[in-house]
Structure 1
Amino acid sequence: MQDNAFYIFLSNFISNNIVPYTDAIMVVLLIICGFYYTFLTRFVQFRLLGSVFSILKEKNEIDKKEHISPFQALMISTASRVGIGNIAGISFALASGGAGALFWMWLMAFFGGASAFAESTLAQVYKSKDGKGFRGGPAYYIKKALGLEWLGAFFAFILIITYAYGFNGLQSYTMTSAFNVYYDMYNTSELSFSQSNYPLYIGLILAIFSLYMFFSHHTKIGKFSSLIVPYMALAYVILAVYAVLINYEKIPSVLKMVFESAFDFKAIFSGFAGSVLVIGIKRGLFSNEAGMGSAPNAAASAITSHPAKQGIIQSFAILLDLIICTSSAFLVLFSMAYLDLGSDGKPLLTAMPLVQEAMREYYGEFGIHFISIAIVLFAITSLIGNYYYAQANVKYLTNSKLAFNLFRISAVLAVLIGSLIDLKLAWNLADLTMAFMATTNIISLLLLGKIVSKVLEDFEKQRKDGLDPKFCAKKLGIKNAECWD
């Protein structure tokens, strides 16, 4: 199929002629949204950051079989944010755009926290009951707050296509491909990794795991993420910090390289579309997902006494994502592999091979093993995080158990097929649908600023009065918030 001329033409046409324009519109809107909510909320992502841990430690009356805790909701959203893109994607951005891409990633996280607060707060306000638990997300607040049921359905459909099929196929394929390094090390036959049976074996293992997780109760996804994500991320950050410390003498030169590259305006404006600024902004936005409408699907499921609490927690998730991205960036920038340049002045290695070579440089064979394990864990947690987002939107579209089970089966098949085939067309389509999804969500967010302000003011007023904030929608004149009346 991948050799089919029409398949190649269509894939390249979407990638080269449509996606750049939709991406540009999406990036501009995401930046506007970040700026708007940063100033509307008076930098809520920093002012209330100190309350995150006290909120996470709150003891709510939780039925552990039915409800997702605030911490579990944080881990589900972090699991989806922290994926292979935080390793290979960051490496690719630095290799193709330059070291300054890191600075623009930092800047996008700075403003993105406010967008994350807004969308997750709205998701909590307009959530719906799901048995004894809750579900929600942009589709729900588009319908309930704006009265646009058809647009909510459009958003839900687009998110399902993007996350359950496009991104999960990508995670599965990239994770399977990561084992290529072992095949090259130990294989004695003439067959390449893709020609062997190993991708099928890995794909079947992934599919069986997905089958178990996708057909489990939704709280099991939260529990699994809360067990794996913190330790996985902490170990990765520790190794990155150690790599910096053993190369401490490079710190001034690396930071100088980052800032000089970030503000090389001559290079930026001579090739704007592929410049360090554009690549850094896109990578930062795509990594933290702030404003894109994905994380609110997890935020809505948490049990909490006030919507703003979950907004603050999800704003904190942007910081966690930034720490992982910075760790990946420093692993690359402090390595000699990054300075091994080709004739075009860019590193010879890029994406996953560049990170693997950097880890080999610091830690020898252990580095290769560790990064492979990290890739597997990052991909697995992203698979279930992406699925969690999608299932909330399937429930928005239909209450049919048959339809829901068919969706589960198709999501498992997407993981299996993705591990076997480089579905470039599917991924290009996912890039396209993600742009539509994010654009729909951002426009909705910009229209709902007054609601976000009301909720935040109510939260801060109660805190100022020495109370543990409790939310009442009727008191604020907010309609269609049935879980809070």
Structure 2
Amino acid sequence: MEQALINAIGALNNFLWSNLLIILLVGTGFYFTFKSRFLQFRMLKEMFIVLKEGKTDSKSGLSPFQAFCISMAARVGTGNITGIAIAIALGGPGAIFWMWVIALIGATSSFVESTLAQIYKIKDKDGFRGGPAYYMEKGLKKRWMGALFAVLITLSFGLVFNAVQSNTISVAFENSFGIDRLTLGIIMTVVFAAIIFGGIKRIAKASEYIVIVLAVLYIGIALFITIINITEVPGVLMLIFKSAFGLDQALGGSFAAIIMNGIKRGLFSNEAGMGSAPNAAATAVTSHPVKQGLIQALGVLIDTGIICTSSALIVLLSPVYKQTQLSGIELTQASLATHIGSWAPGFLALMILLFAFSTLIGNYYYGETNIEFLNTNKIALMVYRIGVLAMILFGAVAKVQLVWDLADLFMGFMVIVNLIAILLLSKIAFSALNDYIHQKKAGKDPHFYKDSIENLEGIEGWPTSSQNKKRNVM
């Protein structure tokens, strides 16, 4: 019975993620790219400018940089280490090129959904909250659609995916250090309880530090490996491009596998269009929604262009990837060992702890803000928190193949719901972009008001221009 269920869910996931969802995500990304006039290229410098400006702490909520860190905490997970190695093992080096492509076009999808999350955010006791559920209710006036999305993201990110992350941590530490998985699971549960019961501010601060540490460490290792193998880098880059378009791959029947594995791993890594990052984007205190939209678009580019590429270089600069029996974390560990010695597997286990634990934090918050959308009762939030802690402990000791498959299924449905919403509301996001550009050209620091866009309804988190004038006079 259980095996039949696994087979059925696996077949449905294969259809969703190998066909329907990839077509929808890629098609939507291309549409937004043309509609925004290639925003990811022409406004790249502006993305870094607004990220730097957003580092200032806000007393009334989260800073744009802290919101950015929450979303990066969820994006940057074990998939950045294991997922890239799997993509290379299954699709060859050319999969990396298609991973880059999907990040470039997906950045505009992230911009649209995060800008919408900012426009339709609402105030709460900690500052602001929002996300797809909120812009579905207030922008599309479809409460049922928002509730459906809230349930799907809570189940997939808030509960199931956290079990998967804790499982990855415990397995890595058991293999490298012989640490008992239950013991490590209890420690993780206690530490995580201290974070989530401390509130969103503590979540943001923990994410900020963890993301910075893991990014610097991992990119630093990749940079060191690249430098000591600098003469081989041009050959690796040429290999990636040749494999992506090579005639031998096309005739050999593997060309489709190269594209599909690159796209799938890219989508799983950067989450552009999935509806997860907007939950973090909505929490930021900023003067204009487009600023946070640009920051989140930059997050997609950083995740794939820098962190995932770091993993790719670690693997491809080693001859180990040609051993087809290796895949996933084993391939990355073996590759690191050839570069920096036999101590690498243990060090990588520590890196996995940082990557996966940061993802736990981001995933938790996505569930929390959607629980509050469904029910503001404190009991519901308490039940959710206990459920998260239980899933972390469960994941540390369990085999989670069925849980992974269910998570993929829920995420697939979640993506479909979100893509429909952002396509229907994209006109508003692009109107906000035009308003932002108009103010920048006039030499102003862009500010947004609920009457900045004509006939805009359902806005709670922004004042009118007249209210702002009154405050300035007073």
Q: TM-score range by the shorter chain?
A: over 0.9
Give how far 1:388 is off: 0.8
Structure 2 distance, partners of 1:53, 1:449, is 23
Q: Does 1:400 pair with 2:383?
A: no
Other-structure match for 2:471: none
User: Which of the residues 26, 46, 52 maps onto 1:31?
Assistant: 26
Residue deviations 1:133-191 (CA, integer Å, cap 9, x gap):
000000100111111110110000000000012211111111111123325xxx6xxxx
In structure 1, give the amino acid aligned to 2:268: F
Structure 2 match to 1:327:
310
Residue 109 of structure 2 aligns to which amino acid in structure 1?
S
1:378 is aligned to 2:331: no
Partners of 1:293 and 1:132 in 2: CA distance = 21
How far does the alpha carbon of each residue in 1:405-457 deviate from its partner, in whole angstroms, 9 at most, with x for none? Answer: 01000011011101110121111011011011011111111111210111000
| 1:160 counterpart residue number | 154
SS in 2 for 1:466: coil
Q: Which residue of 1 aligns with 2:461?
A: 483
Distance 1:383 1:406, change over 3 A: same
Deviation at 1:272, TM superposition (A): 6.8
Q: How does 1:1-400 map onto structure 2 within 5 Å? A: 6-15=1-10, 17-23=11-17, 24-58=19-53, 63-64=58-59, 67-183=61-177, 198-264=180-246, 267=249, 275-322=257-304, 323-339=306-322, 341=323, 347-400=324-377
1:99-139 Cα deviation digits (max 9, x unpaired)? 10000000001111111110000000000111150000001
Task: Verify the 8 A CA contact 2:130 2:283 in the aligned structure 1.
Answer: yes
Q: Which amino acid aligns with 2:420?
A: I
Q: Which moved more, 1:26-35 or 1:368-377?
A: 368-377
Change (3 A) 1:312 1:231: same
Deviation at 1:248, TM superposition (A): 2.2
Pair 1:442 & 2:388 matched:
no
Aligned residue in 2 for 1:428:
405
Q: Taking structure 1 as reference, are residues 226 and 107 closer, same or farther at Cα in structure 2, changes over 3 Å only?
A: same
| 1:351 CA drift (Å) | 0.3
User: What is the DSSP-based 3-state SS (H/G/I as helix, E as strand, rest coil) of the residue aligned with 1:129?
Assistant: strand
* C-alpha distance in 2 between matches for 1:422 and 1:119: 34
Per-residue deviation at 1:69? 0.7
Provide closer, same or farther for how the CA distance between residues 269 and 162 of structure 1 changes in structure 2, counting only shifts above 3 A: farther
Aligned-pair distance for 1:274? 6.7
| Residue 272 to residue 18, structure 1, CA distance change in 2 (3 Å) | farther
**Contact 2:13–2:409 (8 Å) recurs in 1:** yes
Q: In the superposition, relative to structure 1, how do residues 415 and 284 fare at CA in structure 2: closer, same or farther (>3 Å)?
A: same
Question: Matched residues in 2 for 1:158 and 1:210: separation?
Answer: 23
For 2:266, the aligned partner's letter is: G
Q: CA deviation at 1:382?
A: 0.3
Q: CA deviation at 1:58?
A: 3.2
1:450–1:438 Cα change, 3 Å: same
CA distance in 2, matches of 1:60, 1:165: 30
In structure 1, the residue corresponding to 2:449 is in which secondary structure? coil
Distance 2:346 2:12 in 1: 39
Does structure 2 retain, via aligned residues, the 8 Å contact 1:123–1:138?
yes
Shift of 1:475: 3.2
CA distance in 1, matches of 2:383, 2:328: 35
Cα distance in 2, alignment partners of residues 269 and 130 from structure 1: 57
Partner of 2:53, secondary structure, is coil
Amino acid in structure 1 at the alignment position of 2:460: E
CA distance in 2, matches of 1:391, 1:466: 39
Measure the CA separation in 1 of the matches of 2:23 and 2:330: 31
How many angstroms does 1:98 deviate by?
Answer: 0.7
Shift of 1:337: 1.2
- SS of equivalent residue, structure 1 residue 275: helix
1:60 Cα shift?
9.2
Whether the aligned pair in 1 keeps the contact of 2:318 and 2:335 (CA below 8 Å) is yes
Aligned counterparts of 1:298 and 1:278: Cα–Cα separation in 2: 29
Consecutive unaligned residues of structure 2, counting only runs of 5 or more, are 464-474
Q: CA deviation at 1:368?
A: 2.5
Q: Distance in 2 between matches of 1:277 and 1:287?
A: 15
- Distance (Å, rounded) in 1 between the aligned partners of 2:191 and 2:328: 26
AA at the equivalent of 2:128:
F
Which one-letter code corresponds to 1:318 in the other structure? V
More moved, 421-430 vs 46-55: 46-55
Q: Distance in 2 between matches of 1:161 and 1:484?
A: 30
How many residues in Structure 1 have an aligned counterpart in Structure 2?
460
Whole-Å Cα distance in 2 between the matches of residues 273 and 203 of structure 1? 41
Conserved in 1, the CA contact under 8 Å of 2:120 and 2:135? yes
Residue number in structure 1 paired with 2:472: none
Calculate percent identity across the aligned residue pairs: 43
Contact 2:244–2:258 at 8 Å: present in 1 too? yes
- The SS at the match of 1:134 is strand
- The answer (yes or no) to whether the contact 1:268–1:276 under 8 Å persists in 2 is no
Contact 1:142/1:148 (<8 A) preserved: yes
- Aligned mates of 2:250, 2:36 — CA distance in 1: 32
For residues 418 and 98 of structure 2, the distance between their equivalents in structure 1, rounded to whole angstroms, comes to: 23
Amino acid of the structure 2 residue aligned with 1:98 = G
Contact 2:169 2:356 in 1 (8 A): yes
C-alpha separation in 2, matches of 1:227 and 1:236: 14
After superposition, give the CA deviation of every residue in 1:53-89 in whole Å (9 maximum; x if it has no partner): 432343799554x511100111111111010000011
Does the 8 Å CA contact 1:203/1:419 hold for their aligned counterparts?
A: yes
Task: Report the more deviating stretch, 256-265 or 108-117.
Answer: 256-265
Q: What stretches of structure 1 of length at least 5 have no aligned partner?
A: 1-5, 188-196, 342-346
Distance 1:255 1:455, change over 3 A: same
Deviation, 1:268, is 5.0
* Aligned: 1:419 with 2:396: yes
TM-score for the superposition, normalised by structure 2 = 0.93
Distance of 1:400 and 1:203 partners within structure 2: 29
Task: Identify the residue that residue 193 of structure 1 maps to in structure 2.
Answer: none
